[in-house]
Amino acid sequence: MGLNVRISGLYAITPDERDTAELLRKVRQVLLGGAQVVQYRNKLADAQLRFEQAGALRVLTREFGVPLIVNDDAGLAKQVDADGVHLGGTDGSVAAARALLGAAKVIGVSCYNRAPLAFEAVRQGADYVAFGAFFPSGVKPDAVKATPELLQQARRELNVPIVAIGGITVQNGAELLEAGADALAVISAVFAAADIQDAARQFAELKYP
């Protein structure tokens, strides 16, 4: 995994935002609040806008010394020299991403509510695994439901960082950290907050491993 990359703490995932200046303003707030990882995710943007936004986030996250992970697209991660890529079930193989990005970059894999997917992802060289959704998510209302017991099992049986996602708030996140998560991946509870920086700060103050 990347030399100075640690997957732990508040893992802030960007909301679908077409206005790049607005996106940067919001992400600066989460960084000032203490986010430890930023993922660029934008399901509305076309390839040109995604390139522009990922590149701008690359500059911003470097300013804070925080890793930038690109969702779905290892090619874009490579183009902007992101620290890694996050792959879901339809986003290509770990092997293909590794061949493109090299050994120093981070590859994270969505494992939904299935421990066997995580064992296989790690066998293929994933650097972290993500489980969820733990709570109802307005961003992904149809996401499969995962339970804290899965985090306990993953903690016992895996040696890579574990990320929890889906409807996570400051209030319900503590339970997931106690069950074994290293990082909390969050969109709405930080980016839809009236005060984004303060919401991020509250997440950053939780007790991480």
Ligand X SMILES: Cc1ncsc1CCOP(=O)(O)O
Ligand Y SMILES: Cc1ncc(COP(=O)(O)OP(=O)(O)O)c(N)n1
91 makes contact with ligand Y (CB under 6 A) = yes
Q: Kindly name the residue from 78, 114, 140, 155 that is annotated as catalytic.
A: 140
Compute CA 111 distance to the chain's CA centroid, rounded to the nearest angstrom.
13
Size of the site for ligand Y (CB under 6 A): 15
Note whether 157 and 123 are within 8 A (CB).
Answer: no
> Token pair for residue 6?
């640690």
**Which of Mg ion, ligand Y, ligand X, none does residue 82 bind (CB under 5 to 8 Å by kind)?**
none
> Token pair for residue 64?
């804070």
Active site residue 207: no
146 makes contact with ligand X (CB under 6 A) = no
Helix (H) or strand (E) holding 15: none
* Minimum separation from the CB atom of position 98 to ligand Y (A): 17
9 makes contact with ligand X (CB under 6 A) = no
The string of DSSP letters for 39-106 reads EE--SS--HHHHHHHHHHHHHHHHHHT--EEEES-HHHHHHTT-SEEEE-TTS--HHHHHHHH-TTSE
Q: Name the 3-class secondary structure at 128.
A: strand
* Minimum separation from the CB atom of position 130 to ligand Y (A): 3
Active site residue 145: no
Which position among 140, 155, 175, 208 is part of the footprint of ligand X (CB under 6 A)?
140
Please report, in range form, the residues annotated as the binding site. Answer: 39-43, 71-72, 91, 110, 140, 167, 187-188
Q: Which residues are catalytic?
A: 41, 110, 140
Q: Which residues bind ligand X (CB under 6 A)?
A: 132-133, 137-140, 143, 165-168, 186-189
Residues that constitute the known binding site for Mg(2+): 72, 91
